[in-house]
């Protein structure tokens, strides 16, 4: 979808609604948060302005530069923000765009048909939240510049002879800003891994646009260019998985809305569906995703009724049956003036009419596709009926457990040493490897707020395990009961009994394996615990170093060497060094002092920076396919630190 290139884009395309002052007073209203994520959001707003030019057909190159001095710079070779004066305001359009909320071409019908920056407030909000902001525009071979301090112009827009931003395109816009430390008190550094993912994601969605990232701090250079669009993205999502068929690609224009959908089933039991509107990742879904799910379920049921008897079909397939092994992209492009998002951070689409058009496009295409591709249709049906069978078995197993009141916390596991604290926010649960270490942990803990659940042996690998199998494994069932929030479709996060859950295993290969198995369980079956920041890895010391009566603990080889050096300088006698291989080698007092005492311990929070990459790693390491795992082991063998 593009704009008529003959149509004008001048000062009369800019509309002003109100001033800029509210932004600095309540920044979270405009960027969601003033944490590190907010810094990333600011950069995204500037990148999305460049992407709007690409979507309109005027930009081919977008470059992001992370400077050593903390400035974040975005270049594009689009038309360049208009610099002529708006008669009504007697001010350059560039200054109006950068200093008013909201103001921009997105409010003028025809200036942008498709836009990622919904409210037109992106640049002005970033300007308001920056201690220093520079914009340069090249139009008709002439370079213009304006600078701002905390949203206020330092001087009017002026012609200049040389770029101070190293602007090398022969047309377009360059924006460089330094996030204000008064606003972003936590940090003004972006989260680089998230930036890379977002830029790569956008390169998939806007095919044939060249994206470049230059990180001057690490000297890393990255470039992204995809000509396959969302088909390339769906293949990337299914990387490392066994797919059942080639991607199904749906592309349809309905009135002023362009719908693109890609579908490809794999042999896993997990679902990976991503939705976008005008290149914005709608993490919380919305009406476009609802329309897609409804159409897919309906089309699959219609096809099943056509080729199977009533006896073979049994119960109608549900949305939950259709989800298993589904990888899909739902991408809608539509006029920016009609968009209805929930909040400036654009995480959920609200346009009710979009549900209808997506449902129509997907239903019509799939009904014909299944008829013309019966082999693929039957393959998908077989996968879905298997999922239905497993779902019903899991439901029966779960209901059997529920009837006994086991998942409701009525009967806590006998081996759980619970804490007396009733406030989940103050309560901690340590998952300890083995009964021996569990006994030590029970003796060393603070009984008021710390609970201990010993786990005997290695738990089930739940990468490909259905819920009935999970609940039939005693150690995992005990864990679910102890957590109190249930599992599966009826999980109730509000009932979680501990807001800190720490995995505490031995510092050896077996301990690391158990930790990986537990991480797999949480990632696949209780992901909210990770997403909401409740899962941690305890860090018991690796070494005890004793010199005379003094005892030191080291958590790494480097720390051990430093302690030995400092002790040797103080005393003539060499210290005794003990390498801890198991938690049971420490007594209760030592375990408390080094690993469980909030004043001294180290707990590593488990976080998901990139769900897609995390999914790939878990599939590769814990799944059925051997070749990818073997390749990973051979590639990283030299990095392994084995205690043989």
Q: What's the length of the chain?
A: 644
Q: Parallel, antiparallel, or unpaired for β 500-504 and 428-433?
A: parallel
**Residue tagged active-site, from 136, 433, 463, 615:** 433
Q: DSSP secondary structure string, 248-270?
A: EEEEEEETTEEEEEEEEEBSSS-
As a whole number of angstroms, the distance between CA 487 and CA 480 comes to 7
3-state secondary structure of 218: coil
Answer yes or no: are the C-beta atoms of 314 and 389 closer than 8 Å.
no
Q: Which residues contact 344 (CB under 8 A, 6 or more apart)?
A: 29, 30, 31, 32, 118, 119, 121
- Can you name the residues that pair with 604 across neighbouring β-strands? 537
510 is annotated as an active-site residue: yes
H or E element, residue 347: none
Exposure of 637 by Cβ count < 10 A (0-12 exposed, 13-18 middle, 19+ buried)? Answer: exposed
Q: How many CA atoms lie within 13 A of 287 on its CB side?
A: 17
The pair of structure tokens assigned to 331 is 């991408």
**Residue tagged active-site, from 147, 353, 379, 510:** 510
209 vs 9, 48, 52, 346, CA distance in Å?
Answer: 22, 13, 12, 23
**Residue tagged active-site, from 136, 321, 506, 615:** 506
Angle between helices 192-205 and 230-237 (to 10 degrees): 130
Q: DSSP secondary structure string, 49-109?
A: HHHHHHHTT---EEEEEE-TTS-EEEEE-SS----SEETTTTEEHHHHHHHSTTEEGGGST
As a whole number of angstroms, the distance between CA 595 and CA 537 comes to 10
Q: How many CA atoms lie within 13 A of 262 on its CB side?
A: 22
As a whole number of angstroms, the distance between CA 356 and CA 334 comes to 14
User: Which residue, among 602, 459, 610, has the nearest Cα to 537 in the 3D structure?
Assistant: 602
As a whole number of angstroms, the distance between CA 268 and CA 241 comes to 7
Q: Which residues contact 433 (CB under 8 A, 6 or more apart)?
A: 454, 455, 504, 505, 506, 510, 511, 514, 583
User: Which residue, among 373, 383, 398, has the nearest Cα to 271 in the 3D structure?
Assistant: 383
389-404 exposure pattern, b = at least 16 Cβ within 10 A, e = fewer: ebbeebbebbeebeee
Answer yes or no: are the C-beta atoms of 269 and 325 closer than 8 Å.
yes
Exposure of 244 by Cβ count < 10 A (0-12 exposed, 13-18 middle, 19+ buried)? Answer: middle
Provide the 8-state DSSP code for 549. T
508 is annotated as an active-site residue: yes
Residues that are catalytic: 433, 506, 508, 510
């Amino acid at each position: 979808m593009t704009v008529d290139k003959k149509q004008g884009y001048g000062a009369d395309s800019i509309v002003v609604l109100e001033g800029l002052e509210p932004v600095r007073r309540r920044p979270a209203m405009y960027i969601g948060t003033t944490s590190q994520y907010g810094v990333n959001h600011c950069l995204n707003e500037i990148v999305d302005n460049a992407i709007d030019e690409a979507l309109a057909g005027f930009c081919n190159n977008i470059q992001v530069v992370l400077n050593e001095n903390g400035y974040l710079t975005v270049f594009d070779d689009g038309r360049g923000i208009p610099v002529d004066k708006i008669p009504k305001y007697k001010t350059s359009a560039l200054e109006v765009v950068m200093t008013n909320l909201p103001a921009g071409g997105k409010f003028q019908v025809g200036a942008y048909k498709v836009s990622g920056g919904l409210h037109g407030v992106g640049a002005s909000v970033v300007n308001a939240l920056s201690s220093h902001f520079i914009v340069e525009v090249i139009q008709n071979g002439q370079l213009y510049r304006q600078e701002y301090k905390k949203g206020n112009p330092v001087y009017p827009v002026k012609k200049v002879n040389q770029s101070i931003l190293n602007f090398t395109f022969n047309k377009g816009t360059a924006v460089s800003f330094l996030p204000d430390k008064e606003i972003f008190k936590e940090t003004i550094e972006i989260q680089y891994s998230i930036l890379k993912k977002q830029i790569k994601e956008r390169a998939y969605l806007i095919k044939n646009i060249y994206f470049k990232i230059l990180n001057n701090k690490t000297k890393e250079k990255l470039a992204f260019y995809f000509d396959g669009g969302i088909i390339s993205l769906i293949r990337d999502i299914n990387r490392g998985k066994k797919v059942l068929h080639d991607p199904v690609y749906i592309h349809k224009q309905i009135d002023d809305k362009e719908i693109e959908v890609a579908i490809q089933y794999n042999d896993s039991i997990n679902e990976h569906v991503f939705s976008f509107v005008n290149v914005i990742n709608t993490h919380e879904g919305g009406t476009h995703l609802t329309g897609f799910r409804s159409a897919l379920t309906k089309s699959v049921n219609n096809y099943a009724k056509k080729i199977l008897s009533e006896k073979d079909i049994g119960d109608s397939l549900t949305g939950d049956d259709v989800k298993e092994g589904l990888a899909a992209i739902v991408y809608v492009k539509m006029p920016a003036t009609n968009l209805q998002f929930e909040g400036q951070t654009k995480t959920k689409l609200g346009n009710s009419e979009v549900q209808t058009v997506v449902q129509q496009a997907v239903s019509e295409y799939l009904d014909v596709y299944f008829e013309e591709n019966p082999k693929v249709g039957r393959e998908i049906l077989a996968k879905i009926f298997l999922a239905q069978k497993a779902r019903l078995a899991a439901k029966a197993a779960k209901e059997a457990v529920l009837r006994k009141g086991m998942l409701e916390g009525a009967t806590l596991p006998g081996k759980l040493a619970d804490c007396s604290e009733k406030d989940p926010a103050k309560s901690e649960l340590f998952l300890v490897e083995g009964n021996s270490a569990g006994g030590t942990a029970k003796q060393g803990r603070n009984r008021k707020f710390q609970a201990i659940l010993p786990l005997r042996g290695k738990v089930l690998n739940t990468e490909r395990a259905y819920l009935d199998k999970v609940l039939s494994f005693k150690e995992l069932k005990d864990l679910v009961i102890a957590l109190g929030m249930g599992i599966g479709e009826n999980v109730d996060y509000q009932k979680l009994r501990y807001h800190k859950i720490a995995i505490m295993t031995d510092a050896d290969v077996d301990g690391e394996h158990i930790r990986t198995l537990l991480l797999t369980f949480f990632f696949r079956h209780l992901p909210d615990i990770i997403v909401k920041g409740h899962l941690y890895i305890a860090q018991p010391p690796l070494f005890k170093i004793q010199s005379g009566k003094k005892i030191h603990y080291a958590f790494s080889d480097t720390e051990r060497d430093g302690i030995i050096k400092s002790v040797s300088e103080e005393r003539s006698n060499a210290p005794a060094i003990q390498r801890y291989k198991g938690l049971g080698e420490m007594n209760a007092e030592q375990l408390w002092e080094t690993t469980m005492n909030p004043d001294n311990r180290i707990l590593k929070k488990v976080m998901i920076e990139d769900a897609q990459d995390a999914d790939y790693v878990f599939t590769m390491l814990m799944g059925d396919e051997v070749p990818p795992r073997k390749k990973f082991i051979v590639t990283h063998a030299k990095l392994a630190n084995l205690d043989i």
